[in-house]
Amino acid sequence: MLEIISGAFLIMCLRVCDVTIGTFRTLLVVQGKKFHAGAAGFCEVLIWIFAMRYIVQHMDVTLNLFGYAAGYGLGNILGITLEQKFSIGYAEVIIISKHFTDKIADELRKYQYGVTLIPGEGGRGGVSILMVLIRRKDFKEIKKIVDSIDKECFLSIQASQPYRGFMPGGRK
């Protein structure tokens, strides 16, 4: 019985590893880091092949199938958690405030963030749109600064891949 449980645990651990690496590989692909993505993909598939070899050899053990599924689920959770912690890459933050646009822009610039103001038209008239290109790991700091001025503003974040020009962190 110990051999059956340890086999299922081994499969689960292998799946946790390969799915976690797969999460990072996907991020690297999106950011165009092809060599890093290739290396991560190599490791991911190698681990997956070892897991599959073991599970195929022991397919008659139902607990192995549960280990495989549990590893996949836990790998997703761990991969996303680690990705959020490391926050690799860049993001574009859009901020729309009804009354505090200039104050938010001034405060962000005080902390050396590059801010671009764009005129816009909302449902109730003109607005100013603030665009800030940041390192993803700086989002918590940006959010804290903005929330200290206007907790009601519209705040959106999306992945960005800078092509050329100003790069966040260059003035820090």
- What confidence score (pLDDT) does residue 169 get? 58
- What confidence score (pLDDT) does residue 48 get? 94
- What confidence score (pLDDT) does residue 171 get? 47
Report yes or no on 29 lying in a domain.
yes
Within this chain, do residues 98 and 62 fall inside the same structural domain, yes or no?
A: no
Within this chain, do residues 8 and 22 fall inside the same structural domain, yes or no?
A: yes
- What confidence score (pLDDT) does residue 166 get? 62
Report yes or no on 171 lying in a domain.
no
Within this chain, do residues 12 and 81 fall inside the same structural domain, yes or no?
A: yes
Within this chain, do residues 57 and 70 fall inside the same structural domain, yes or no?
A: yes
Overall number of domains in the chain = 2
Within this chain, do residues 77 and 100 fall inside the same structural domain, yes or no?
A: no
Residue where a domain stops, chosen among 69, 86, 103: 86
Residue ranges of the chain with pLDDT lower than 50?
170-172
Report pLDDT digits (tens) over 4-31.
Answer: 899 999 999 999 999 999 998 988 888 7
Range of the domain at 121: 90-160
Report pLDDT digits (tens) over 56-74.
Answer: 898 889 999 999 999 999 9
Within this chain, do residues 27 and 7 fall inside the same structural domain, yes or no?
A: yes
Q: For residue 99, what is the DSSP state?
A: S
